[in-house]
Amino acid sequence: MYPTVGRFGRLTARLSQAAEARRERAPPTAAAVSVNRHMGPHAEPLLPRDVTANFVLPARERSWLETCERLLDFVPKSVRTADSEKAEELFIVMTLFYSATTTYQGAIELCRQGFSDQALMLNRALFEVMVDAHWAHANPDEANARYTDHAVFSNSKNHELMSRYSDLIREDLPQPVGSAFVSSDEERKRLERLYGRHGNKSWTGLSLHERVELIAPAWESEGERRFLRFFRDLAGRLSNETLHPSAAAIFRQVLPPSAERTEMPTVRLRQGPSLELFTQALFGAMWSYGQLLGRIVEEFNLPTREGMIEAYTNAYRLFYVPSEEDRRSTGRNDPCPCGSGRKFKHCHLR
């Protein structure tokens, strides 16, 4: 059984609401840079080099961060399986898992420093690695074939680019890894169909949408599968909007007009740490990573399973906001719908 079973069905994370409530409490720091619309960028003030020097994560955010960070206590230092065939099957999964672990640590550190937008950018990668690990777990033979295909394709692409830009590349730079190259035109066409002419498609040869649909059955309840798709569709969209220059990303840079009147109309731009997207960033990272860690704990039947579920549930509960439906259908003395086991009135009713 998957560790998170039964916990998502009734959970509603109202992320945008949480972010709004947070905004009203006025985020710390965020030095404003004024840009004069008519004169171009101001000559001063210069931005301080150390933008986080005066940044202190508020107590509430710090405790949320520490709760999410506890997932890392359950990362196995090593895993063993006596079955060598199984070990081969799990090679890609484990590689993805440990790479996701480092990305999760990175997202946590960025949140700690108040770089919540940048942490959100990592969530896009974290979600994809989580999806790929589940896909590779369910399709080990195909995953191995795609891994080899992608290695050959990337190797040829890199080699081709290094020849094209040889005047820009130092001769002592490390050469591309591996020695296998695309061997025929037919082979090239096949690989380009999988990975695109410029090689910018996933190593799996499948779109994110396709992969999510293929792995969805691993989540046992409809509520959990809905959550998985929610992350692909809405949360994925938000982190993409942050990752790439987008109308939304450009707009988010602009601070509300300042009260002081100036002769020239100015636009104030956000700079430095900001907690505006802290909730989304932390929740997204914790959720994606939790799904992957849960799968690994399950796969190897690790003795830390119960502790991991508890840590995950504690973290999840932070972001839970009861829906109107939950409020209507849950009595004050009923168990809280978040799954804490406490009475609603002592938990999320407050």
Q: Which residues of this chain interact with Zn ion, rule CB under 5 A?
A: 336, 338, 340, 347-348
Q: Are 268 and 34 in contact (CB under 8 A)?
A: yes
By C-alpha distance, which of 22, 24, 32 is closest to 61? 22
In angstroms, how far apart are the furthest CA atoms of the chain?
A: 75
Q: How far apart are the first and last CA of the chain?
A: 32
Q: Which residue, 158 or 314, has its beta carbon nearer to Zn ion?
A: 314
Q: Are 152 and 191 in contact (CB under 8 A)?
A: yes
Q: What is the CA radius of gyration of the chain?
A: 24
CA 191, CA 150: separation in Å to the nearest integer?
8
Q: Are 177 and 163 in contact (CB under 8 A)?
A: no
Q: Which residue, 79 or 321, has its beta carbon nearer to Zn ion?
A: 321
Positive or negative torsion for Cα 219, 100, 112, 22:
negative
Q: Which residue, 309 or 336, has its beta carbon nearer to Zn ion?
A: 336
Q: Which residue, 191 or 347, has its beta carbon nearer to Zn ion?
A: 347
Q: Which residue, 271 or 314, has its beta carbon nearer to Zn ion?
A: 314
Q: Which residue, 194 or 347, has its beta carbon nearer to Zn ion?
A: 347
Please enumerate in sequence order all residues whose Cβ is within 8 A of that of 199, keeping only pairs 6 or more positions apart, or say none. 153, 154, 157
Phi first, then psi: give them for residue 316, nearest 5 degrees: -60, -40
Which alpha helices (H) appear in the chain, and where do they start and end? 15-24, 59-69, 84-112, 116-138, 140-164, 185-195, 208-215, 222-230, 236-243, 247-252, 278-299, 305-319, 324-329
Q: Are 158 and 174 in contact (CB under 8 A)?
A: no
CA 237, CA 265: separation in Å to the nearest integer?
33
Q: Which residue, 232 or 348, has its beta carbon nearer to Zn ion?
A: 348
Q: Which residue, 122 or 336, has its beta carbon nearer to Zn ion?
A: 336
Q: How far is the CB of 126 from Zn ion (least distance, A)?
A: 26
Q: How far is the CB of 346 from Zn ion (least distance, A)?
A: 8
Q: How far is CA 89 from CA 20, 94, 138, in A?
A: 45, 10, 10
Q: How far is the CB of 20 from Zn ion (least distance, A)?
A: 21
